[in-house]
Structure 1
Amino acid sequence: MNLRLLAALSFALALSFTAVRAAPPPVQSARVTVLSTMLAGDPLFKGIGEWGFSALVEADGYRLLFDTGLRPQTVLHNASELGLDLSGITDVVLSHNHADHIGGLLTLRREFAKKNPKALSRVHVGRGIFWSRGPGDDGKEENAAIALKAAYEATGGVFIEHDKPEELAPGVWLTGPIARTHPEKNYGTAGKVLTATGWTEDTIPEDIALVLDTTRGLVVLTGCGHAGAINTLAHARRTIRDTPIDAAIGGLHLLTGNDETLAWTSTQLRTLEVRRLLAAHCTGLEATYRLRERGGFTRATATVAAVGASYDSAKGLNSLVLAR
């Protein structure tokens, strides 16, 4: 191939890449409804709170389930009481291997497959979710995702492992591995994981987030934010679109954060132009209020998530009664 042709092809590829990144964000309408977290916030809704996280994500008609809570029946029960039918959903995203995010998957798959064989039949995960975490005190494998994999695949479901950003539907992105540019350690330090090079500290390497690229900005969902709350949000802007974040939703693992950590995180939220915060699960109640105060939010734009609470791209946050 001559140099002139090679240069022309390289220029064309560069233009193509630029055009893709400059295209208008494809998601016009987005909605996220919390199905598992610690609080059940509406006296007219008899939901179940638990230590876990799950959310229904809707983007221009495309629907997926992000995480599945801890107990087998929680998300199934809460979805039913909210009047949400999950049987038409094919895709599930599991943010990482911990039991409080994967516990409902098998029950949900078995239940909704009775109505639709394709229901919840495709699960997207980050590379490393099935790596051994070693035996616990009872001698059994610490990583519950390993046993879940075999049981889930026996139902006809499939796991898809991701090691880079992937677009599941127009404007609906998985982050892939999250660059840990800031020294956030949003995980325990006692765990070990077996990698290709041997045992090492378990930093939850498979931790992934979901990003909706909407006309109002990015919407970022995290299970626990083990890769770092700010690392995750910055990664979304760097890899998906460099635009303000209309909403950060989910667990941020700040419940044990000290004053210095919360002050720094609040400053970074301002820098990243985060407009709304629906803080669930392991974010922590006091931590959420500190972020609201120091991050420039109001009661309308930053709140503790409850079961049934929601984000709507046209209406903002609906925090229900208890968390207002």
Structure 2
Amino acid sequence: MRTFYIFYLLGAFFFLWAQPTQSVDNFKITVLSTMLSDFYLGEWGFSALVEVDGQRLLFDTGSRENTVWQNAQQMDLDLNGIPHVYLSHNHADHTRGLLTLKKTYPTSFGQAHVGEGIFYPRPNEQGEAHYLLQNKKRLEALGVRFVNHNKVSEIIPGVYTTGPIPRVYDEKNWSRLGKLIAPNGDRIEDTIPEDQSLFFDTEKGIVLISGCGHAGLVNTLTYIRSILPGRPIYKILGGFHLLKLSDEKLRWTASKLKEFGVTYFVGAHCTGINATYSLREYMDLTKDQVMVGSVGTYIDGEGIHPGYME
């Protein structure tokens, strides 16, 4: 527990060193890749376009090579001129689209923001199973510069990455089958140590975007609360790996979300449809406040919008 608080103090120190002078005024986060879709292409993956006060970044890049590009085209969203891409962790269902996107938009996505540990080797019986590591040199040759984050850092004005997240609660949101090669050469369980999430503050509270939440949703929210103490975390969107949780664990998660002030929740990708509906019930929220995310769903300062009807 002592180590946990040391991590929190360090996180708070680094955040204060680069603290924004004001909160974000306008934002829109649009889902470009997730498992559910009507008029667009659905897949087991995740990506979202983040627009904040006139600036844009791409959060994750989906699973198939063309999904994000194709869905953005159909939604009339121009991805050209976006300098930053943010990769929540190494898994291919969040990173495989980057190569196609960089080739399609050669002046975009020059900076790829990653968490420390993302390039640890992950070999299996067939060889190296790490898609991003396999394609790192190809991406760099196309002009991608990987920016490594091991602490809270500002990505664009007012928008921050958590960096790797301290794991105080027992939220083991990973397969437990994978292995990685640590810097000392040991072959150890792959807990996805690089898992990071994006957040920013607004007048009404903090907004969080997560790819898979392998570090744990409650761990992530707890860490962000330590960085911005007293601020409600009122809107969260993304994948959170809740689909296999027991009812008991879901009730515990819901109670924690209520403590943090969460009033809007979009569960996409690996969150689970039943898990999302259970959270809505346990948190006593409405269908306008808790929604299963699909391609085209977006959140802004007004609330959650299904997207596909607009």
Q: TM-score over 0.5 for the alignment?
A: yes
- Please tell me whether the aligned partners of residues 94 and 123 of structure 1 are also in contact (alpha carbons under 8 angstroms): yes
2:304 alignment partner in structure 1? 317
Three-state SS of the structure 1 residue aligned to 2:142 is coil
Give the C-alpha shift of residue 193 in structure 1: 1.2
Relative to structure 1, the CA distance from residue 147 to residue 190 in structure 2 (aligned partners, 3 Å threshold; closer, same or farther) is: same
1:214 alignment partner in structure 2? 202
1:195 alignment partner in structure 2? 182
- Please tell me whether the aligned partners of residues 23 and 200 of structure 2 are also in contact (alpha carbons under 8 angstroms): no
What do you get for the CA RMSD once the two structures are aligned?
1.9
Q: What TM-score do the two structures reach when normalised by structure 1?
A: 0.87
Q: Distance in 2 between matches of 1:25 and 1:107?
A: 36
Relative to structure 1, the CA distance from residue 319 to residue 189 in structure 2 (aligned partners, 3 Å threshold; closer, same or farther) is: same
Give the C-alpha shift of residue 23 in structure 1: 6.9
| Alignment partner of 1:166 is 2:153 | yes
Q: Distance in 2 between matches of 1:182 and 1:17?
A: 23
Q: Distance in 2 between matches of 1:78 and 1:109?
A: 16
Give the C-alpha shift of residue 256 in structure 1: 0.9
- Please tell me whether the aligned partners of residues 171 and 214 of structure 1 are also in contact (alpha carbons under 8 angstroms): no
Identity %: 45
Structure 2 residue runs of 5 or longer lacking an equivalent are 1-12
One-letter amino acid of the counterpart of residue 166, structure 2: A
- Please tell me whether the aligned partners of residues 166 and 219 of structure 2 are also in contact (alpha carbons under 8 angstroms): yes
1:121 alignment partner in structure 2? 110
Structure 1 residue runs of 5 or longer lacking an equivalent are 1-15
One-letter amino acid of the counterpart of residue 112, structure 1: Y
Q: Distance in 1 between matches of 2:248 and 2:127?
A: 38
Give the C-alpha shift of residue 21 in structure 1: 8.9
Give the C-alpha shift of residue 22 in structure 1: 8.7
Give the C-alpha shift of residue 241 in structure 1: 5.0
- Please tell me whether the aligned partners of residues 21 and 241 of structure 1 are also in contact (alpha carbons under 8 angstroms): no
2:28 alignment partner in structure 1? 31
Q: 1:129-140 to 2 correspondence within 5 Å?
A: 129-136=118-125, 139-140=126-127
One-letter amino acid of the counterpart of residue 286, structure 1: N
Moved over 4 A (4+): 16-24
Q: Deviations over 1:55-99 (max 9, x none)?
A: 000110110000000000000000001110011100000000101
Three-state SS of the structure 2 residue aligned to 1:153 is helix
Give the C-alpha shift of residue 258 in structure 1: 1.1
Relative to structure 1, the CA distance from residue 290 to residue 17 in structure 2 (aligned partners, 3 Å threshold; closer, same or farther) is: closer
- Please tell me whether the aligned partners of residues 198 and 209 of structure 2 are also in contact (alpha carbons under 8 angstroms): yes
Relative to structure 1, the CA distance from residue 70 to residue 21 in structure 2 (aligned partners, 3 Å threshold; closer, same or farther) is: closer
One-letter amino acid of the counterpart of residue 101, structure 2: L
1:258 alignment partner in structure 2? 246
1:80 alignment partner in structure 2? 73
- Please tell me whether the aligned partners of residues 68 and 75 of structure 1 are also in contact (alpha carbons under 8 angstroms): yes
Three-state SS of the structure 2 residue aligned to 1:292 is helix
Give the C-alpha shift of residue 235 in structure 1: 1.2
One-letter amino acid of the counterpart of residue 279, structure 1: G
Q: Deviations over 1:159-205 (max 9, x none)?
A: 01110010122210010110111110011111111112312111100
Three-state SS of the structure 2 residue aligned to 1:87 is coil
One-letter amino acid of the counterpart of residue 196, structure 1: P
One-letter amino acid of the counterpart of residue 237, structure 2: I
Relative to structure 1, the CA distance from residue 123 to residue 20 in structure 2 (aligned partners, 3 Å threshold; closer, same or farther) is: closer
1:142 alignment partner in structure 2? 129
- Please tell me whether the aligned partners of residues 45 and 93 of structure 2 are also in contact (alpha carbons under 8 angstroms): yes
Q: What TM-score do the two structures reach when normalised by structure 2?
A: 0.91
Of 279, 282, 285 in structure 1, the residue corresponding to residue 267 of structure 2 is 279
